[in-house]
A and B are shown apart, each in its own frame.
Chain A
Amino acid sequence: MPAVQETIDQVRQIDVDQYKYGFETKIEMDKAPKGLSEDIIRLISSKKNEPEWMLEWRLEAYRRWLTMDEPSWARVKYPKIDFNEIHYYAAPKGTTGPKSLEEVDPELLKVYEKLGIPLKEQEILAGVEKSKIAVDAVFDSVSVVTTFKEELKKAGVIFMSISEAMREHPDLVRKYLGTVVPQSDNFYATLNSAVFTDGSFVYVPKGVRCPMELSTYFRINERNTGQFERTLIIADEGAYVSYLEGCTAPQRDENQLHAAVVELIALDDAEIKYSTVQNWYPGDKHGKGGIYNFVTKRGDCRGKNSKISWTQVETGSAITWKYPSCILRGDGSRGEFYSIAVSNGHQQVDSGTKMIHLGKNTSSRIISKGIAAGVSDNTYRGQVSAHRKAENARNFTQCDSLLIGDKCGAHTVPYIEAKNSTAQFEHEATTSKISEDQLFYCLQRGIPEEQAIALIVNGFVKEVIQELPMEFAVEAQKLIGISLEGSVG
């Protein structure tokens, strides 16, 4: 059989059931009834002991959401979501807020251990070579534990669940929440504003370089549960923070909704580096089940010479709809977007970024690497715009797509808009296939097929992997390998 035919057959037999994080944990849960109403929102707010203004904010969002329609412009297809079939709140019983590690249900800790998350501080401390990472773990709707709090406190860094922050630092939350992604931004962001249950809050004070990587792990466990987390990160003048986000979910036949909102704010001379390794359950080989990942992430370079950098490795989810963006408001500010999006089986990805140049001498850089296998669809959608006052705005965009097999699709949809004649935007795009010649060459040197694919793909994504913090880079490379297992014969 010629190699080409074999490749096609293998791709047909593709098995995305290899998802390694698909276990379910039996933990007694406290759940709100299915469906959405003002009463449910009041329930969520009271469960979290929120201040009155927060409840009002949620209700306002909810009322607006009722008047909105789901967006349909993305290149993704899915049956209509029944928003009344979802539980909007689910928490492990007895959890009202984060506790110290000793008080956390050992079952929960086991889950995170299975996922390879370094929750136990002593273990991290024991590993001399490993750099320290502070973790906030979110299980369904609530944050169950945040590590290294004391040490961060010494540096003046606030890192806690957003529910906790609302109680302990209400002024900060109120000042910044919804200022980057307003309540009415889009259908899913508005829904999130009404029902968000938890997420992380980070505040790095003036001139402080956060002494360790901060990290959040999200886990959807309950059936028919939506996860609506909200993350808010503020780097005050001259501050620096690097933040990592990882996600997993059990294997389920039905689709689950994940509609998060992430807001980043960088003031004068501040820098925020936000990295994501997203590995939500992608559905089985027939396209059944999987997470709908409809996420709004946006950073505001509010101050002069501030910098926001998004790095993402997207291998999971049945459908991904996600455009981490930068508003380059401050003069001399810089936005970066580095992305690897891998789709296999029946996955659909419509992802990219927006770089909105408002200030003078702002610059942005976009490197997007899409890898499509199986019968998946992988779209890069990006917008770069320079507004009237954005003198000397600069952008460089590079979008490369790699196809494995011939049943998948890669698409690039760039929108470029310059209202200032001094703007300089560059856009490069390529689409290529792993050729039979490349594969044979590797095989002839004694490299077996799976390793050969991994080698070629890792070469393809190298520029982006380099942007990830060390610990994540290795994990991301492995994850990409796993996601593409069995994709070529």
Chain B
Amino acid sequence: MLEIKNLHARIAEDGTEIIRGLDLTVKAGEVAAIMGPNGSGKSTLSYILSGREDYEVTEGDILYNGESILELDASERAAKGIFLAFQYPVEIPGVATMQFLKVALNEQRKYRGEDELTTPEFMRRVKEAAAELKIAPEMLRRPLNVGFSGGEKKRAEILQMALLEPKLCILDETDSGLDIDALKVVADGVNALRSPDRAVVVITHYQRLLNYIVPDSVHVLYKGQVIKSGDKSLAHELEANGYADIIEAAA
């Protein structure tokens, strides 16, 4: 589903190279975890995949379902099924969460040549997804992310993911700022979306989240490259021994 080939990318403004020859393949149905120390390029990778314009790809390619997505802007990539759950979800004052969801869903449908959802059908889907994530209807009437607690923000991200039904989900540090109960709710939400035709990329600093969202593969990112890949046992190894040994072995 996702093939990243020898990717090189830099910050557009000052030319700093962040991704330096990254290769990664994630198949449909797979949950891939990307781990790495601070500054290894994890969040940058999530932005580049989703099409943020602050970064420039200088070499290599990103294939999504066999096609390069480098020429597509962020909204087109989203409509094609790439979803990024933000580490820091952004506040949109004055725009009710419900309204935002409706606009996003219908814009994506429009792009794909589908009819807009009727209001009752939309309401039914939102209510159902919200209940799964223990989101109160009252929260849906509040402006998106404005005054939300850390846990509410992350649940709102997963709610959007559930409604938009993306094919490639990228979770950027979704566990940050969550207590254990909130973490479980979020992880349950993600697990419910696991399916044979959907891939999930979990970007995380810690092993903790991976106890709840168990990955099929684990990749260690360091200085913009994948320096080691393995199965879920790699995550436990990192938890026990830290990154130093692997970094040394790769050097």
Footprint of B on A, CB under 8 Å? 1-4, 6, 435-438, 440-449, 451-452, 455-456, 458-463
Contact = CB atoms under 8 A, between A and B. Distances in A.
Given A458-B94, A462-B94, A447 B103 contact: yes
A446 B95 contact: no
B25 to A, nearest CB: 23
Interface string B71-97: 001110011000110100111111100
Given A1-B12, A459-B92, A449 B75 contact: yes
A451 B103 contact: yes
Given A455-B92, A459-B92, A460-B93, A445 B164 contact: yes
A456 B100 CA distance: 10
A73 to B, nearest CB: 33
Given A2-B53, A448-B107, A443 B78 contact: yes
A444 B111 contact: no
B13 interface: yes
B51 interface: yes
Nearest to B163: A445
B79 A446 contact: yes
A446 B75 contact: yes
B182 interface: no
B44 interface: no
B75 A448 contact: yes
B57 to A, nearest CB: 13
Contact of A446 (B12, B90, B111): B111
Contacts, number: 85
Nearest to B96: A459
Given A440-B53, A444-B83, A446-B104, 20 more contacts: A3-B53, A4-B13, A437-B90, A440-B52, A440-B90, A441-B90, A441-B92, A442-B75, A443-B78, A445-B107, A445-B160, A446-B79, A446-B108, A451-B103, A451-B107, A456-B92, A458-B95, A459-B143, A460-B94, A462-B94
A440 B172 CA distance: 15
B242 to A, nearest CB: 32
B104 A445 contact: yes
Contacts of A455: 92, 95, 100, 103
Given A2-B13, A3-B53, A455-B95, A444 B84 contact: yes
Interface in B110-151: 111, 143
Given A445-B160, A460-B94, A2 B54 contact: yes
Contacts of A462: 94
A447 B107 contact: yes
A443 B75 contact: yes
Contacts of B94: 458-463
B50 interface: yes
Interface in B197-223: none
Contacts of B93: 459-460
Which of A1, A444, A446, A448 has its CB near the most chain B CB atoms (within 10 A)? A446
A137 B79 CA distance: 46
Contacts of B91: 438
Contacts of A461: 94
A3 B55 CA distance: 9
Interface residues of B, number: 31
A459 B143 CA distance: 9
A462 B96 CA distance: 11
B95 A456 contact: yes
A456 B51 CA distance: 20
A2 B78 CA distance: 19
A-B CB proximity, top 10 nearest: A459-B94, A446-B78, A443-B74, A446-B108, A459-B95, A445-B104, A3-B53, A441-B90, A2-B12, A462-B94
A458 B50 CA distance: 26
A440 B160 CA distance: 15
Contacts of A437: 90
Given A451-B103, A455-B100, A459-B143, A441 B86 contact: yes
B20 to A, nearest CB: 20
Contacts of A460: 93-94
A463 B164 CA distance: 29
B90 A447 contact: no
A88 to B, nearest CB: 44
Contact of B51 (A1, A443, A449): A443
29 contacts: A2-B53, A436-B54, A437-B90, A438-B90, A440-B52, A441-B86, A441-B90, A442-B75, A443-B51, A443-B74, A443-B75, A444-B50, A444-B74, A444-B78, A444-B86, A445-B107, A446-B78, A446-B79, A446-B104, A446-B108, A446-B111, A447-B104, A449-B75, A451-B103, A455-B92, A455-B95, A455-B100, A456-B95, A459-B94
B89 to A, nearest CB: 7
A463 B54 CA distance: 33
Which of B54, B73, B75 has its CB near the most chain A CB atoms (within 10 A)? B75
Contacts of B79: 446
